[in-house]
């Protein structure tokens, strides 16, 4: 029986959306801060990172039941990063997911605070809900450590700093761009997969293979975004441009579209190779990797 990737993604997205509505303020939030949070968290995008968290758990133990708090926390952190990336002091984007950026609706100060709240509340959610699920404190601390490192100055935030520097550099090497993608995008994808697998009881060998898988699809994902920006099939705005609309250095701008497509294919095949030791059929992580490499938006 063939695996329907779209159906799988849609169903898992519904689960994540429902859980986020449960964990976060209601749509008719009373304070401006909470309205700002709800504005960016719903309806959201593909929910790729939390879905990867669920898929990793399913790969290990056949269920995602106990990892939803971590999956939702990861989406909260991703949403915080989007709010802050769009600020005038960063990428200065006015549109996000087809509507006005958070700071254009609520102002820079409230948007900044909404991002701060989402980041902080994410770790509160992990601690509170996973303790309720009966997870050990040691395991919870290990998950928090993985996610916080991926989100902080050794991961996503560092990647954003590199990204800002890329706007200014005149002669960038492809490995500098790849490293930026590893930090800014792949590290949180890695944290998503590892936290789901860890909470599902994965062993160290399994975690090592999943770490390599995640890094590869994370970099491939960002290069694919670069390609879609150039081919005109991407729904985000100004992602291939720096602050004030200046041309941003990307993998595609240096290597070209065809070489970039080849790199996406290479990384995807390498990522799939890391999954050979897992005997679940079909393997949702394998199918998601293929879907990411072939998507047209």
Among the listed ranges 21-25, 79-83, 235-239, which one has the minimum average pLDDT value? Answer: 235-239
Residue-level pLDDT at 247: 63
Rounded average pLDDT over 65-73: 95
Q: What is the pLDDT of residue 60?
A: 95
Q: What is the pLDDT of residue 29?
A: 67
For the ranges 21-35, 44-58, 127-141, the lowest mean pLDDT is seen at 21-35
Report the percent of the chain where pLDDT is more than 70.
Answer: 91
Q: What angle do CA 228, 186, 123 make, to 5 degrees?
A: 125
Q: What is the pLDDT of residue 238?
A: 39
pLDDT, mean of residues 127-156: 96
Residue range 196-249, pLDDT digits in tens? 999 999 999 999 999 999 999 999 999 999 999 998 765 543 344 544 445 678
Residue 135 is predicted with a pLDDT of 93
Write the pLDDT tens digit of every residue in 150-190: 999 999 999 999 988 876 656 678 889 999 999 999 999 99
Query: CA-to-CA distance for 182 and 70, rounded, in angstroms?
Result: 21
What domains can be seen in the chain, in order of their start residue? 5-294 (1.10.600.10)
In the prediction, which pLDDT does 173 show?
83
- What value does the mean pLDDT take over residues 137-145? 97
Picking from 76-90, 229-243, 281-295, which range would have the lowest pLDDT averaged per residue?
Answer: 229-243
Give residue 244's pLDDT: 46
């Amino acid at each position: 029986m063939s695996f329907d990737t779209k159906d799988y993604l849609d169903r898992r997205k519904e689960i994540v959306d429902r859980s986020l509505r449960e964990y976060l303020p209601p749509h008719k939030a009373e304070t401006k801060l909470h309205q700002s949070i709800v504005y960016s968290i719903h309806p959201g995008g593909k929910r790729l990172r939390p879905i990867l968290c669920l898929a990793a758990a399913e790969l290990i133990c056949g269920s995602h039941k106990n990892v939803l708090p971590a999956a939702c926390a990861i989406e909260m952190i991703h949403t915080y990063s989007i709010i802050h990336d769009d600020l005038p002091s960063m990428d200065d984007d006015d549109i996000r997911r087809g509507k006005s950026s958070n700071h254009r609706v609520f102002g820079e100060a409230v948007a900044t605070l909404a991002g701060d709240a989402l980041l902080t509340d994410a770790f509160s959610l992990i601690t509170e809900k996973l303790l309720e699920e009966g997870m050990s404190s040691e395991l919870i601390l290990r998950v928090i450590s993985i996610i916080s490192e991926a989100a902080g100055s050794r991961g996503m935030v560092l990647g954003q700093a590199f990204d800002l520097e890329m706007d200014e550099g005149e002669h960038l090497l492809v490995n500098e761009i790849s490293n930026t993608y590893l930090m800014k995008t792949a590290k949180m994808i890695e944290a998503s997969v590892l936290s789901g697998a860890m909470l599902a009881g994965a062993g160290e060998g399994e975690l090592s293979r999943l770490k390599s898988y995640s890094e590869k699809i994370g970099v491939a994902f960002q290069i694919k975004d670069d390609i879609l920006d150039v081919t005109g099939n991407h729904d985000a705005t100004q992602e291939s441009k720096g602050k004030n609309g200046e041309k941003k250095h990307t993998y595609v701008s240096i290597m070209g579209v065809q070489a970039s497509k080849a790199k996406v294919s290479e990384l995807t095949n390498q990522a799939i190779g890391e999954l050979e030791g897992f005997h679940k059929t079909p393997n949702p992580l394998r199918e998601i990797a293929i879907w990411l490499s072939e998507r047209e938006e």
